[in-house]
Amino acid sequence: MGDAVERFRGLGMAEDQLAAYLDEMLLEEAQEAAGERGTSADEELHSPGFASARSASSYAIRLITANNAFLARQLLDMGVLAPGARSDGDENQVRG
């Protein structure tokens, strides 16, 4: 990919940000489950159900990340996003 595309970090959250958000959501759910079952959140997080949810979600995160990159490439190609636009807040350069 070109230099401009590399500077533009893509749409949406990065893979590591999505994974961190997933961990937060799973922890909240584990704390709730632990309260209902009288166990600890750590025990719940290590249970087969939570392990399965984490595993399945890791595939979904990869798909979301790939789709975000695809959308960013399409928007760059269509001229909707300016090459070199930043993806970190108010400095986005979107053409209208």
- CA dist., res. 94 & res. 79, Å (int): 9
- The pair of structure tokens assigned to 88 is 């970190």
What confidence tens digit (pLDDT) does each residue in 25-82 have? 999 999 999 999 999 999 999 999 999 999 999 999 999 999 999 999 999 899 988 7
Any domain includes 27: yes
Cα–Cα distance measured from residue 55 to residue 30, given in angstroms and rounded to the nearest whole number: 15
Q: Does 36 fall in a domain?
A: yes
User: What pLDDT, on a 0 to 100 scale, did the predictor assign at position 51?
Assistant: 94
pLDDT of the residue at 11: 83
pTM higher than 0.85 for the full model? no
Task: Specify if 96 maps to a domain.
Answer: no
Between CA 57 and CA 10 the distance in angstroms is 20
Q: Is residue 44 assigned to a domain?
A: yes
Count of structural domains within the chain:
1
What range defines the domain where residue 65 resides?
11-78
Q: What is the pLDDT of residue 1?
A: 43
**Do the domain assignments include residue 84?**
no
Residues 61 and 19 sit within 8 Å (Cβ to Cβ): yes
